[in-house]
């Protein structure tokens, strides 16, 4: 299972949304972003604006390959100025139902790659207005804080009728850095207090993190 991050031009968003729908990728969230290219480079490439769209989605290995191939073919990724896509392995997922939902099928198979680091990035995708509910649960389990991104859910339209997890239009993506030892407890607390059956409707997973800095007690002497 991967977390696929696509950085594209705004005019390519509709095409990418259609690709995600055809691949039945339900957990897809779109954020607004801005590129950092200098105006001279934009002029050279014939690009009028550096505004971007950041599309976040979860996909298994097969669909990750199909998603990237489709972006190369239809969005011309690889051509300067058209954007890029990366895939990051998901370390763990909170709950078998969430695994099934993210895979786009009814299997509750676990998918935990052998990736072990001292820190992990917990990602909670929740309904709008649920940040306090999620963070209260996370802090009670030892989380020091989090960062909230606001986005729009653009997942597969048929997914909500099969699962008790809905990708509403407006979503909050909450990022929490934790130690590997605390990760399971924090994810469990979020699922219990703000999980799929709650008003927050959170789906929670974690990504491996190789190094951290700026987190106070998290920082090691070597960092």
Domain 2-89, CATH class in plain words: alpha beta
Query: According to the model, what pLDDT value does residue 162 have?
Result: 42
Count Cβ atoms below 10 Å from residue 115 Cβ, excluding itself: 14
Query: According to the model, what pLDDT value does residue 115 have?
Result: 67
* Structure tokens, 52: 């971007």
Q: For 104-190, list the strands marked E by DSSP.
A: 119-127, 147-153, 170-179
Query: According to the model, what pLDDT value does residue 46 have?
Result: 60
Rounded CA gap, 135 and 173, in Å? 12
Query: According to the model, what pLDDT value does residue 99 have?
Result: 67
The CA distances from residue 24 to 27, 58, 67, 85, 166, in Å, are 9, 11, 11, 18, 14
Rounded CA gap, 87 and 113, in Å? 14
Domain extents in the chain: 2-89, 92-218
Query: According to the model, what pLDDT value does residue 191 have?
Result: 95
Give exposure, 75-99, as e/b (b: 16+ Cβ within 10 Å).
bebeeeebbebebebbbbbbbebbb
Query: According to the model, what pLDDT value does residue 13 have?
Result: 94
The CA distances from residue 126 to 21, 74, 89, 164, in Å, are 20, 30, 21, 13
* Structure tokens, 212: 């951290």
CB 71 within 8 A of CB 85: yes
Query: According to the model, what pLDDT value does residue 216 have?
Result: 55
Q: What is the DSSP string of 14-31?
A: HHHHHHHHHTT---EEEE
* Structure tokens, 97: 């139902």
Query: According to the model, what pLDDT value does residue 100 have?
Result: 67
**Regions of the chain short of the pLDDT cut 70:** 34-50, 96-97, 99-115, 155-168, 211-223
The SS3 assignment for 76 reads coil
**Nearest Cα residue to 126 out of 190, 36, 61:** 190
121-147 confidence digits (pLDDT tens): 999 999 989 999 999 999 999 998 888
Q: Do domains 2-89 and 92-218 have the same CATH topology?
A: yes
Query: According to the model, what pLDDT value does residue 118 have?
Result: 84
Q: For the chain, list the strands marked E by DSSP.
A: 2-8, 28-34, 51-59, 83-89, 92-93, 119-127, 147-153, 170-179, 203-209
Rounded CA gap, 70 and 182, in Å? 38
pTM score: 0.72
Query: According to the model, what pLDDT value does residue 204 have?
Result: 95
Q: Domain spanning 92-218 has what CATH number?
A: 3.30.70.120
The SS3 assignment for 38 reads coil
28-55 confidence digits (pLDDT tens): 899 887 665 556 655 665 655 668 889 9
């Amino acid at each position: 299972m991967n977390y696929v991050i696509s950085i594209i031009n705004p005019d390519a968003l509709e095409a990418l949304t259609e690709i995600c729908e055809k691949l039945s990728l339900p957990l897809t969230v779109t954020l607004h972003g801005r590129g950092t290219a200098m105006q001279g480079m934009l002029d050279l490439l014939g690009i009028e604006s550096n505004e971007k769209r950041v599309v976040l989605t979860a996909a298994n290995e097969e669909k990750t390959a199909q998603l990237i191939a489709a972006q190369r073919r239809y969005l011309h990724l690889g051509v300067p100025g058209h954007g890029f896509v990366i895939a990051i392995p998901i370390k763990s997922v909170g709950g078998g139902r969430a695994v099934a939902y993210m895979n786009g099928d009814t299997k509750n198979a676990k998918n935990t790659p052998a990736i072990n680091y001292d820190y992990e990035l917990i990602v909670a995708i929740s309904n709008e207005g649920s940040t306090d509910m999620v963070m209260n649960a996370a802090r009670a389990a030892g989380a020091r804080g989090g960062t909230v991104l606001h986005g729009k859910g653009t997942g597969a339209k048929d997914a909500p009728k099969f699962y008790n997890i809905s990708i509403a239009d407006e979503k909050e993506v909450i990022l929490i850095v934790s130690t590997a030892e605390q990760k399971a407890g924090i994810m469990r607390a979020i699922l219990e207090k703000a999980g799929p059956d709650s008003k927050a409707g959170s789906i929670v997973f974690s990504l491996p993190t190789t190094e951290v800095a700026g987190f106070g007690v998290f920082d090691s002497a070597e960092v």
